[in-house]
């Protein structure tokens, strides 16, 4: 699994002009699933994200997690994270998981974040979405689960 994580002051997602998810401060997660991902990958990423210390403490050091600051998560499914642009001018999405298993693992990932005590809003799987956010910092990180066989920009 691959997640592009952005620290955000506020974020929302619309489908067909209707807001389906919105948060105040927290994290926006763009979540991609590849063929060999399992619940183990989802659990590893959920645990990593819940404890990742990327919010400033009183001394200005990135020393606090989303749990520490009472933030929320806006999780957006995004198969294009597994787009391969190395050949030609059109991305190849063969590394992205098929919709049925990808949606099930994406839903499980969000449930694991909720199990960690986090408030999670989502977009709508497979829909065309308009995502708005105020990137705070900016702070943007790319996380790959340990069993992911592709590194970013590979």
Chain segment 53-73, per-residue pLDDT in tens: 999 999 999 999 999 999 999
Lowest mean pLDDT among 31-35, 83-87, 93-97, 149-153: 149-153
Is 79 catalytic? The answer is: yes
Q: Is 80 a catalytic residue?
A: yes
Question: What is the structure's pLDDT at 67?
Answer: 97
Q: Which residue has the tokens 């995004």?
A: 78
Average pLDDT value for residue range 22-43: 97
| Cβ within 8 Å of residue 60, ≥6 positions away | none
Q: What is the pLDDT of residues 74-132, one digit of tens each?
A: 999 999 999 999 999 999 999 999 999 999 999 999 999 999 999 999 999 999 999 99
Marked catalytic residue, from 6, 34, 55, 79: 79
| Mean of pLDDT values over 24-46 | 97
pLDDT, mean of residues 28-54: 98
The residue from 78, 109, 140, 150 that is catalytic is 78
pLDDT at residue 18 tops 90:
yes
Q: What pLDDT shows up at residue 149? A: 55
**Total-model pTM:** 0.93
18 vs 151, more confident = 18
pLDDT at 147: 82
Query: What's the 3-state SS for the chain?
Result: CEEEEEEEEEEEEEECCEEEEEECCEEEEEEECECCCCHHHHHHHHHHHHHCCCEECCCCCEEECHHHHCCEEEEEECHHHHCECCCCCCCECCCECCHHHHHHHHHHHHHHHHHCCCEEEECCCCCCCEEEEEEEEEEEEEEECCCCCCCCCC
Is 78 an active-site residue? yes
């Amino acid at each position: 699994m691959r997640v592009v994580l952005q620290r955000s002051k506020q974020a929302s997602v619309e489908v067909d002009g209707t807001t389906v998810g919105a948060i105040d401060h927290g994290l926006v997660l763009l979540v991609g699933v590849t063929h060999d991902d399992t619940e183990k990958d989802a659990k590893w990423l959920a645990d990593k994200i819940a404890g990742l210390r990327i919010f400033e403490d009183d001394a200005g050091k990135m020393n606090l997690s989303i749990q520490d600051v009472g933030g929320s998560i806006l999780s957006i499914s995004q198969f294009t994270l597994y787009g391969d642009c190395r050949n030609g001018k059109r991305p190849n999405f063969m590394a992205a998981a098929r919709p049925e298993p990808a949606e099930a693992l994406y839903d499980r990932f969000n449930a694991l974040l909720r199990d960690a005590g986090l408030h999670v809003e989502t977009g709508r799987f497979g829909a065309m979405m308009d995502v708005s956010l105020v990137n705070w910092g900016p702070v943007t990180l790319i996380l790959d689960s340990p069993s992911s066989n592709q590194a970013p920009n590979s």
